[in-house]
């Protein structure tokens, strides 16, 4: 479960490393700046959400939102 920007950044960093990519590699693939990726992986809460979703998708992550307490 992702509760903070830090949680999302940690998952993205883990997937990037599993894929054998450097931050610069992934930044290039996603067409974002290296600084953006560094800040995203560090959990900076003010990064652009649409870019964060795009990076997550590019490392094979999907975000699903459900109503709190709904386990289905």
pLDDT tens figures, 27-49: 999 999 999 999 999 999 999 99
Whole-angstrom distance, CA of residue 11 vs CA of residue 44:
14
For domain 5-58, the CATH class is mainly alpha
Count of residues making up the chain: 72
Mean pLDDT over 59-70 rounds to 90
Mean pLDDT over 52-69 rounds to 93
Residues 6+ apart with CB under 8 A from 2: 8, 11, 63
Is residue 59 within 8 A of residue 26, CB to CB? The reply is yes
- pTM over the 0.85 mark: yes
| Count of CB atoms situated within 10 Å of the CB of 8 | 23
* Residue 26 confidence (pLDDT): 98
Of 13 and 70, more confident: 13
């Amino acid at each position: 479960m992702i509760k903070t920007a830090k949680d999302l950044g940690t998952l993205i960093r883990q997937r990037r490393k599993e894929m054998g990519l450097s931050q610069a590699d992934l930044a290039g693939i996603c067409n974002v700046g290296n600084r953006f990726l560094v800040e995203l992986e560090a959990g900076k809460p003010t990064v652009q959400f649409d870019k964060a979703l795009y990076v997550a998708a590019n490392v094979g992550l999907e975000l699903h939102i459900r109503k709190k307490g709904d386990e289905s």
